[in-house]
A and B are shown apart, each in its own frame.
Chain A
Amino acid sequence: MTLLRAKDLTKRFVSRGPLGAKAAFTAVDRVSFDVRLGETLAVVGESGSGKSTTARMIAKLLEPSEGTLEFEGEDVTRAKGAALARFRGNVQVVFQDPFSSLNPRHTVERILMAPLVYQGIAPHGSRRAHAKELMERVGLDPDHSLRYPAQFSGGQAQRIGIARALAVNPKLVICDEAVSALDVSVQAQVIELLRRLQHESGFSYVFIAHDLAVVRQIAQRVAVMSKGRIVELGTTAQVFGDPRDEYTRTLLAAIPRIDPEWERRRRERA
């Protein structure tokens, strides 16, 4: 079942020079894809590929210049008011930098309950109990619900960001470079957490990233973007195992690898 459908999404940024001279830059050029219920679709690309602009458009944080966005069959491209609020209750975002996307002056409890307040949803039981339940789900110590973001490590702060996204029980979570800023050991744990949460709750991810190796661990389908366009969209096995586009092949070839001989020897010892 299709949850979200982007059709010919286009974003042009117009910069105005002196005397109103215009220069248009097409950041995203007629991008189309579906996100099915319960799946993870990754959007990968290098800087300037348009992946983040695409993420912001499907999260309705940015209005597309052209194209349509459907959610559960309903056109939400220009949704306002109640329709937009409903959309926000179904689609949540986890951002790259956990610290700058969490209010440093609010306790974790207040941060986690904020989406419920905006949506007018009653918490399960008390606010405190609901916040603690969310913290437990993402592997945080529920006794820390009255702490402030600065009292957590980077990986823990990102777990708070994930818990906040889950507070309203969304059907789609957009992860915009959600694990890029983390150390590898922490990154592995957060990826594991994201997979477990999806397994438990059955929501979908749109996973925006530049790191193909990370994407490969979590996505069922991958869209490769370059210069504002999707150059290749297929299953993870196809895109990584049998890339059809020249750019995808270049991208895959550029990833640094540990000498396979060393890898084999290490695994034999383990």
Chain B
Amino acid sequence: MEQIRKQITEFITTNFLFDESITLGVEDSLLDTGVIDSTGVLELVAFIEETYGIKIEDEEIVPENLDSINNISLYISQKLSQLTADKAAN
């Protein structure tokens, strides 16, 4: 999970964090702090799908999964675990 958190932080810092006055904590809301907007969320989804090879369903694109670095990292970890379990079952 630490590796995922690091990759997500790097992606957000490179692509969205241009306001030097914002210090982003891992629990901070990306939408409320204005770091990410609606199009940014979609870019984040594209990055996650491409990087981790997972499919994010429309109904999973909710603030609970994608609104902080910690939530995103936890969500990806769970999706990857699920993917591994599904593969093992098949």
> Does A associate with B in a complex?
no
Binding site for B on A (CB under 8 A): none
